[in-house]
Amino acid sequence: TRKRQRYVEKDGKCNVQHGNVRETYRYLTDIFTTLVDLKWRFSLLIFILAYALTWLFFGLIWWVIAYSRGDLEHLGDHTWTPCVNNLNGFVSAFLFSIETETTIGYGHRVITDTCPEGIVLLLLQAILGSMVNAFMVGCMFVKISQPNKRAETLVFSSHAVVSLRDDRLCLMFRVGDLRDSHIVEASIRAKLIQSKQTQEGEFIPLDQTDLSVGFETGDDRLFLVSPLIISHEIDERSPFWDVSRGQLERDDFEIVVILEGMVEATGSGVGAARRREGAWSSWGRR
């Protein structure tokens, strides 16, 4: 068996990497989607850094306020009213920043009413902390709720066959759902990916051609309760009409099958893609 370079892996992952992207600022214009699309290790790192840097930043400001007002020089002076009671250094300022942003409120360190700059900073940190919480928790929730693993229980047949069905030559494969919860409004599509040269001599390395699997008749809308056989009729409109079995065994091509729908339990969209490469593993009569 010849080793072929794959456009889509057998598990549905696209084997395409973007290189030489110069307009990287476009990722920052949609920072929410960028964070959701990151790998888990990077998402967790950004999640931790977002909180840690915020606590450190405001902790430093609390320490600067205490230092500039002379609170650190009057630690044992009970007649002196500091900006924050019991703040005796940067560590305690950092802890006060955490308590303020997370609304823990242990009661040991507390701001006084003689420090207007501290009151303004308290309001700013409370507002900014709520924004950080909403943004980061929202990103993590969307990332956790993505139904990527739901597609693991959508199975495709290991082999596809070309055979006669109702006296018509068809390319057929099976698809099924292992779970009891159904995929709502499931639909299926198929794409033939193959290098192509146009009549003008232009070479298209990854040309995509639709394979009809029942779009005209509505058979592409699946009621996926039991395993179904998906059929592509090889007629005059099919790209396989003028291709022989021997040519299929020699040609380099891929057929990518995409099944989409909504998870019944959550209502979120789910998609599964599987690939088949030439030549087919099984054949029927022709």
Confidence of residue 64 (pLDDT cuts 50, 70, 90): very high
Query: 248 burial class (0-12, 13-18, 19+ CB within 10 angstroms)?
Result: middle
Give the pLDDT confidence of 107-159 residue by residue, as tens digits.
888 898 889 999 999 999 999 999 999 989 888 888 887 766 666 778 888 88
Which of 6-10, 208-212, 245-249 is predicted least confidently? 6-10
* Token pair for 280: 């087919």
Domains of the chain: 24-145 (1.10.287.70), 149-277 (2.60.40.1400)
* Token pair for 34: 């960028």
- A 10 A CB-CB count for 41 gives 8
Mean residue pLDDT of the chain comes to: 82
Tell me: pLDDT of 34 over 90: no
The full 3-state SS of 116-165, as one line of letters, equals HHHHHHHHHHHHHHHHHHHHHHHHHHHHHHCCCHHHHHEEECCCCEEEEE
Residue-level pLDDT at 130: 92
Residue-level pLDDT at 267: 60
Tell me: pLDDT of 271 over 70: no
Residue-level pLDDT at 204: 84
Mean pLDDT value across residues 271-277: 58
What's the rounded Cα separation, in Å, for the pair 269 and 150? 10
What's the rounded Cα separation, in Å, for the pair 51 and 46? 9
Give the pLDDT confidence of 66-120 residue by residue, as tens digits.
999 988 888 888 888 899 998 999 999 999 999 999 888 788 888 988 899 999 9
Give the pLDDT confidence of 168-180 residue by residue, as tens digits.
889 999 998 888 7
- Closest by alpha carbon to 235, among 177, 189, 185, 171? 171
Confidence of residue 60 (pLDDT cuts 50, 70, 90): very high
Mean pLDDT value across residues 267-282: 53
Pairing relation of β-strands 168-177 and 161-165? antiparallel
pTM (2 d.p.): 0.64
Residue-level pLDDT at 12: 63
* Distance from chain centroid for Cα 128: 27
Mean pLDDT value across residues 11-38: 73
* Token pair for 234: 């090889």
Residue-level pLDDT at 285: 32
Mean pLDDT value across residues 193-197: 83
Residue-level pLDDT at 281: 36
Mean pLDDT value across residues 171-198: 85
Confidence of residue 21 (pLDDT cuts 50, 70, 90): low
Residue-level pLDDT at 20: 67
Residue-level pLDDT at 53: 95
What's the rounded Cα separation, in Å, for the pair 144 and 46? 15
Rg of the chain in Å (alpha carbons): 30
